[in-house]
Amino acid sequence: MIQSALAAPAAAAADARTAVPVPLFGASQFDLPSKISARTYRIFVYKPLPPPPPAGYPVIFITDGNGLFPLAAAQMALMALAQKGALVIGVGYPTDDFMKPMTLRYRDLTPVTEDKTLFPAQPPLSDADQGGGSELFYRFIVEELRPALAASYPVNAQEQTLYGHSLGGLFVLGVMFKHPESFKNYVASSPSIWWDNKSVLKDEAGFVAKANSRKAPLRVLICVGAKEQDALTHAPGGLPLEDTNKRISQARMVDNARDLANRLSRLDAKSGFTVRFQDFSAEDHLSVVPGSISRALNFALEQ
């Protein structure tokens, strides 16, 4: 009895030493160089089990693909049980370092930014990575990535969704304001509207005119964690607590998201313009991500 009890941990250790990576069901990846942005991106693809509709699969693009794609792919796999399916595309970077994309993303997800103090000092970003590349990143998605996907998968060009969280949500709003014709559905999760003194909102007025004249449906979902404006009792990473809470208060994550959704919902668009707002009552800026992704997938596939 004693010998068998002692032997069990040794057997478990042997199993751990021979462990292999866990594959993600239905998923694949490839690297795609961009002539437009002069970067190489890692493209994560989830192909659903249900066969494609006659018009092809709907497509859902997810920014920050290294971290967010596994959540979206796993949720879409569950939705296949209800015979729902879309091609989920995560756009990330060719690295296995979990933290590196957190710095690479600044160039692609932010517009030209006047206030350079917004960029992290540690690790220091090169001048080329300090924002300003969001328009090039948008062009990569629509001019290079889309054709590559259409050449390999049956896709529905009219049923496409763009999702992003945080700076990714800022990117989604920037694309929607400037190029509303590019996607049917826009999902901005906890969008960083505060970035660079709310410069993204400079294009809101022009978007209103475009939305009112658009013939095809345009649908918007804005999500946020209801606790994203709550003061912290402990600052992350040893940062000064008072300064951290001051930044949280100034960012107005919940108020900015709700205010934008309210303004957009008052538009008298006659082309199937839909605006929804969702705050997740018990979630903060990080814990809201799984819920917002799940809501985004259902929003994209609503009939």
CB atoms within 10 A of CB 31: 11
Write the DSSP assignment of 43-102 as a string of letters.
Answer: EEEE--SSPPPTT-EEEEEESSHHHHHHHHHHHHHHHGGGT---EEEEEE-S-S-SSHHH
Query: In Å, what is the CA distance from 128 to each residue of 37, 39, 103, 150, 192?
Result: 11, 11, 12, 31, 21
Q: How far apart are CA 194 and CA 251, in angstroms?
A: 5
Query: In Å, what is the CA distance from 203 to each residue of 29, 108, 139, 175, 209?
Result: 34, 18, 18, 10, 11
- Report the length, in residues, of the chain: 303
Q: Which of 37, 159, 165, 166 is catalytic?
A: 166
The amino acid at residue 54 is P
- Residue 166 designated active-site: yes
Query: In Å, what is the CA distance from 173 to each residue of 31, 201, 234?
Result: 26, 9, 31
Q: Which of 37, 165, 190, 228 is catalytic?
A: 228
Q: Which of 165, 192, 283, 285 is catalytic?
A: 285
Q: Tokens at residue 80, please?
A: 């296949």
Nearest 5°: the CA angle 216, 59, 141 is: 90
**Token match 């003194």: residue?**
197
The amino acid at residue 167 is L
Instruction: Write out the catalytic residue numbers.
Output: 166, 228, 285
